[in-house]
Structure 1
Amino acid sequence: MKFDTVVLGGGIVGVSIAVHLQKRGRSVALVDCKAPGNETSFGNAGLIQREGVYPYAFPRALSALLKYSRNTALDVRYHPNAMLKLAPFLWQYWRNSHPSRHAVIARWYATLIEHCVTEHRMLAAEAGASALLRPSGWIKVFRTNAKQDSEMAVVQRWQREFGVSFDALDPARLRETEPDLDTSLKGALRYTAADSVTDPNALVTAYAQYFDKLGGRFFIGDATTLRDHWTVSTQAGLLSARSAVIAMGPWSGDVTRRLGYTLPLAVKRGYHMHYAARPDARLNHPVLDVENGYLIAPMSRGIRLTTGAELAFRDAPKTPVQLDAVEPIARGLFPLEQRLDDEPWMGRRPCTPDMMPIIGAAPKHDDLWFAFGHAHHGLTLGAITGRLIAELVTGEKPLVDLQPFRADRF
């Protein structure tokens, strides 16, 4: 039960780290309380967002703040009882979303984003999971000309700054591309360099099976039992390692606090439900209804409807009011039929107030590494994060300068 490295967390980030370390000849134990891919990585929109150079900012316009304060918006809801505790985090999030600061963050963030598709494609090919990736991009649709014009101005700026590729679809081209969408739409924007995933859980599972094939070992265990230097309790007994990686997404703070770290972490919760499509209808791409804050995506189980963000305590009971609110609108966008899940799924996105993940060495400990806080881009950045952490642990020069993502930046 002795290993070179123990990786805590069986989501897309943790599994990718474990694979990359095992590929480099390390003996690796991967520990989680569930099988890989069955928490936050289970229920996302399945996008690998090559265009996602600007992480999702906090709204700053007074009109937007007033809109969200009423707590009736479709894309963002909040639990009033959580707001006092979340206020310091939200204040810093708001400050970092100032356009000038956001632009600086985007330049750093883009250094990760530029590798997201290529790293996933390489890992998926090695794991025999390339069929789970769709290299056809994803689509934003517009219901008003004003929204279409504003989004086009933004993406044209992204193209100039970062080389983001896109297609502008007028109503006729949109009907050719997605013939079963609402015909009253004004047009669409297709991000052509992105990939999408037909089953995020299956992708994480495939990476985990590849890890096992490489000789890695997975254990069901309690990551919060991690102790310096470095032991953790599992159902198979106590295991020890020379180094440890914390990649537990929204639960990472539970372990880092025990080790003496105070990191500004919060969660944005989200929901999904699967639906059958009308027998004669087909959805070819993930489609974001940008003006109503939800996304529909063709998945192996059916059409997945995903919601925006819910600000709440991580472990508060489910309140899928956003899902109930957008479902009738989604049925008008695309012919959805019966629900396929017994109840809505809820996930928790791990967030930092500067919108960037924490990737790098723990400031107070030797041989301890952090990889969490990826917010909406956990799937997008999972594979590249795995490579970068493995390069750090094994003493290689990282592909990306990780100085902006260090834990002590706060």
Structure 2
Amino acid sequence: MVRTAVVGGGVVGLSVGIELLDAGHAVVLVDNDEAGQAASWGNAGHVAVEQVEPLASLAAVRSMPQRLFLRGGALAFPLAAVGAWLPFGLKLLAASSPARFRKGCAALRPLMEQAMPAWTSLMERIGAPDLLKQDGHFVLWNEPRKAIAGKAAWSSADTGVAQVKPATPGELEALGKLGKFTVAGAIRFAGSGQIADLADLRDALRVAFAARGGRLVSGTATLRRVGNGVEVEGVEADQVVVCAGVRSRAIMEALGHKAPMIAERGYHIRTDAAAWPKDMPPVVFEERSMIVTRYRDSLQAASFVELGKVDAPADPRKWERLERHVAELGLPVSGPFRRWMGCRPTLPDYLPAIGRSVKADNVYYAFGHQHLGLTLAPITGKLMAAMMAGEQPAVPLEPFDLRRFG
């Protein structure tokens, strides 16, 4: 039996661990996030199969000035983190060329096509199918001009297996009852979905991991070189899989890899669900770059792309703006809000890193999923298990190899 250590207990790490256990490995998972505060458990809960087009694109670059936080948008470049985001930004610009953008779309498309089936399979196998909701999501606009432009943009975008259609009169009426705002236009996606509750998902995955014989170790993994491979201090393992999110950069660079990842920090506020309909799918208020998600017992508003340092203090202005958005829209919620900030692990081409190390014989890796960590976790687990078994993965993994960075 192959002994495997998985470093990182987020949704990707747990998905990889479960797949390896089902493939016959003896798995130890080392995780230092005892309280469950990582980005895996604080995101928008959206299974975003429509996001086939990487965010590294000329269109995204051209839109940056209008999306800056200082101009009311959701994009922030903290001055104190210029040493982190400037080199990252230059690499993003290079990755946004039309040719590389097309390659990125071609790489992401097959992952997205298999994302929802992989979620369905995983939830059924761990006995938690009710945690996956496949009701799509809404995108709405409050201003007529922006509604026209937004609908046109989504109609021409590559959304993969997700379908886009205008919201019906009944859906428009239901959206209008969510608050005190005008619905100038809205679209509904079919094929996307959400997790019913992220805390319950974490519990279900950890229980399923343990039930299969996996061992959870709380603490920070220490890796050290041993010959042509590595070992994890205190863990007997033949193989190591690095799934440590933003912390993966330091691990992989210590092995000699280039992993130019940045902490793309997001913020949310949560409160009791109150009068928000239980059956309402996630709603994106596109002009405010905010997504509102109803979980089982809470309502969450999330936003912001803050390119910064992992351990920098949170910026309270982000939470304050979210609270202002909620108040201005007249949503049926009130404080006190529970505030959270977490770091998405983002590489400059907005593709994940999935592969086998060429610097250490027994090291594999799966990290850097940016906004798509939740979406792609189960399919990533399946691909890792196939690769580590010497089988041909269902999706070509060459585009996700770290060697693309030199």
Instruction: Calculate the TM-score normalised by the size of structure 1.
Output: 0.91
Question: Which has the larger displacement, 161-170 or 363-372?
Answer: 161-170
Q: Displacement, 1:136? A: 0.5
For 1:89, give the aligned amino acid. Answer: F
2: CA distance, partners of 1:49 / 1:280: 22
Q: In structure 2, the residue corresponding to 1:308 is in which secondary structure?
A: strand
**Count of aligned pairs between the two proteins:** 403
User: Secondary structure, in 3 states, of the residue corresponding to 1:15?
Assistant: helix
**2:362 partner letter:** D
- In the TM superposition, what is the alpha-carbon distance from 1:62 to its structure 2 partner? 8.3
1:294 Cα deviation from its structure 2 partner: 1.2
Partner residue of 2:120? 121
Partner of 1:169: 167
Contact 2:58–2:97 (CA under 8 A) maintained in structure 1: no
Report the Cα offset of residue 12 of structure 1.
0.5
Pick from 343, 346, 356 the counterpart of residue 351 of structure 2: 356
Q: Which amino acid aligns with 1:47?
A: H
Residues 203-236 of structure 1: CA deviation (Å, up to 9, x unaligned): 1321221111111111113223354444323xxx
Verify the 8 A CA contact 1:170 1:186 in the aligned structure 2. Answer: no
1:193 is aligned, of 177, 191, 194, to 191
Task: Give the corresponding residue for 1:224.
Answer: 222
Of 259-268 and 30-39, the range deviating more from structure 2: 30-39
Residues 166 and 193, structure 1, Cα contact 8 Å, conserved in 2:
no
- Aligned partner (choices 204, 212, 225) of residue 202 of structure 2: 204
Structure 1 unaligned segments of length 5 or more: list them.
none
Residues 254-292 of structure 1, C-alpha deviations (whole Å, 9 max, x = no match): 211222222111111011111234448667111111111
Residues 276 and 294, structure 2, Cα contact 8 Å, conserved in 1: no
Change (3 A) 1:96 1:280: closer
Distance in 2 (alpha carbons) for counterparts of 1:48 and 1:68: 24
**2:313 is the alignment partner of 1:317:** yes
- Partner residue of 1:380? 375
Q: What's the secondary structure of 1:336's corresponding residue?
A: coil
Q: Equivalent residue for 2:109?
A: 110
Displacement of 1:250 = 0.5
SS in 2 for 1:297: strand
In structure 2, relative to structure 1, the CA distance for the partners of 1:30 and 1:184 (3 Å cut) is same
Alignment partner, residue 291 of structure 1 = 287
Separation in 2, partners of 1:257, 1:392: 22
Separation in structure 1 between the aligned mates of residue 105 and residue 268 of structure 2, nearest angstrom: 28
Quick check: 22-31 or 213-222, which moved more? Answer: 213-222
| Partner AA of 1:214 in structure 2 | R
Tell me the secondary structure at the aligned position of residue 310 of structure 1: strand
| Structure 2 match to 1:137 | 136
Matched, 1:246 2:242: yes
Q: Which amino acid aligns with 2:163?
A: S
Q: Any idea what SS the aligned residue of 2:238 has? A: strand
- Aligned partner of 1:265 in structure 2 is 261
Q: What's the offset of the Cα at 1:347?
A: 0.4
SS at match of 1:53: coil
**Greater alpha carbon shift after TM alignment, 35-44 vs 23-32:** 35-44
User: How much identity, in percent, do the aligned residues show?
Assistant: 29
**Does the CA-based 8 Å contact 1:31-1:219 persist in structure 2?**
yes
User: Offset of 1:380 from its aligned partner?
Assistant: 0.5
Distance 1:186 1:150, change over 3 A: same
